[in-house]
Structure 1
Amino acid sequence: MLEKTFYKQLLKRSFSVPVKVVFWDDSSVVFGKGEPQVTITFNEKLPIRAVTQNASIALGEAYMDKKIEITGTGDRPIQTIINDAYQQAGSFMRDSKLRRFLPKQSHGEQESQTDIQSHYDVGNNFYKLWLDDTLTYSCAYFTNGNTDDLYAAQVAKVHHILQKLNPQPGKTLLDIGCGWGTLMLTAAKEYNLKVTGVTLSEEQYNLVQKRILDEGLSDVAEVKLVDYRELGDRQWDYITSVGMFEHVGEENLGLYFKDVARYLKDDGVALIHGITRQQGGAYNGWINKYIFPGGYIPGLTEIINHIVNADLQVTDVEMLRRHYQRTLEIWDTNFNAHREEIQADKGRRFTRMWDLYLQACAASFESGNIDVVQYLITKGASGTGLPMTRGYMLTDK
Structure 2
Amino acid sequence: MLEKTFYKMMLSKSFPFSVKVTYWDGKSEVYGNGDPEIEIVFNEKIPMSEITRNASLALGEGFMDKKIEIHGNIQKLLVGAYESADSFMRASKFRKFMPKQKHTEKQSEEDIQSHYDIGNDFYKMWLDPTMTYSCAHFEDGNKDDLEQAQIAKVHHILNKLHPQKGKTLLDIGCGWGTLMLTAAKEYGLKVTGVTLSEEQFKLVQKRIYDDNLQDVAKVRLQDHRELGDQKWDYITSVGMFEHVGKENLPKYFADVYKYLNKDGVALIHGITRQQGGATNAWLNKYIFPGGYLPGLPEIVTDIIDSGLQITDMETLRRHYQRTLEIWDKNFNAVRPEVEKKFGERFCRMWDMYLNACAASFESGNIDVIQYLLTKGPSGKTLPMTRKYMLDK
Q: CA deviation at 1:104?
A: 2.1
Q: CA deviation at 1:308?
A: 0.2
> CA–CA distance in 1 between the matches of 2:238 and 2:2?
47
Alpha-carbon displacement from aligned partner over 1:213-237 (angstroms, at most 9, x marks no partner): 0000000000000000000000000
Q: One-letter code of the match for 1:24? A: W
How many percent of aligned residue pairs carry the same amino acid? Answer: 70
Q: Which residue of 2 aligns with 1:171?
A: 167
Aligned 1:151-170 pairs, distance under 5 A: 151-170=147-166
Aligned 1:241-260 pairs, distance under 5 A: 241-260=237-256
Q: One-letter code of the match for 1:69? A: E
**TM-score normalised by structure 1 residue count:** 0.98
8 Å CA contact 1:318–1:374 kept in 2: the answer is yes
> CA–CA distance in 2 between the matches of 1:354 and 1:148?
25
Q: Which residue of 2 aligns with 1:111?
A: 107
8 Å CA contact 1:99–1:285 kept in 2: the answer is no
> CA–CA distance in 2 between the matches of 1:22 and 1:146?
36
Q: One-letter code of the match for 1:49? A: S
> CA–CA distance in 1 between the matches of 2:142 and 2:390?
16
**TM-score normalised by structure 2 residue count:** 0.99
Aligned 1:290-305 pairs, distance under 5 A: 290-305=286-301
Measured on the aligned residues, the alpha-carbon RMSD in Å equals: 0.8
> CA–CA distance in 1 between the matches of 2:98 and 2:353?
17
Q: One-letter code of the match for 1:36? A: P
Q: CA deviation at 1:2?
A: 1.3
8 Å CA contact 1:176–1:244 kept in 2: the answer is yes
Q: One-letter code of the match for 1:245? A: F
Q: Which residue of 1 aligns with 2:91?
A: 95
Question: Does 2:13 match 1:13?
Answer: yes
Q: Which moved more, 1:5-14 or 1:106-115?
A: 5-14
Q: Which residue of 2 aligns with 1:311?
A: 307
Q: One-letter code of the match for 2:267? A: L
Q: Which residue of 1 aligns with 2:270?
A: 274
Q: Which residue of 2 aligns with 1:34?
A: 34
Q: Which residue of 2 aligns with 1:78?
A: 74
> SS of the counterpart of 2:383?
coil
Question: Does 2:207 match 1:211?
Answer: yes
Q: Which residue of 2 aligns with 1:132?
A: 128
Q: Which residue of 2 aligns with 1:363?
A: 359
> SS of the counterpart of 1:130?
coil
> CA–CA distance in 2 between the matches of 1:90 and 1:148?
37
8 Å CA contact 1:146–1:153 kept in 2: the answer is no
Q: CA deviation at 1:148?
A: 4.5
8 Å CA contact 1:99–1:284 kept in 2: the answer is no
Q: Which residue of 1 aligns with 2:325?
A: 329
Structure 1 unaligned regions, length at least 5 = none
Question: Does 2:343 match 1:347?
Answer: yes
Alpha-carbon displacement from aligned partner over 1:246-304 (angstroms, at most 9, x marks no partner): 00000000000000000001100000000000000001110011100000000011100
> CA–CA distance in 2 between the matches of 1:187 and 1:60?
40
Q: CA deviation at 1:32?
A: 1.7
Structure 2 unaligned regions, length at least 5 = none
Q: Which residue of 2 aligns with 1:50?
A: 50
8 Å CA contact 1:178–1:198 kept in 2: the answer is yes
Q: CA deviation at 1:395?
A: 1.5
Choose from 195, 216, 219 the match for 1:220: 216
Choose from 224, 230, 234 the match for 2:230: 234
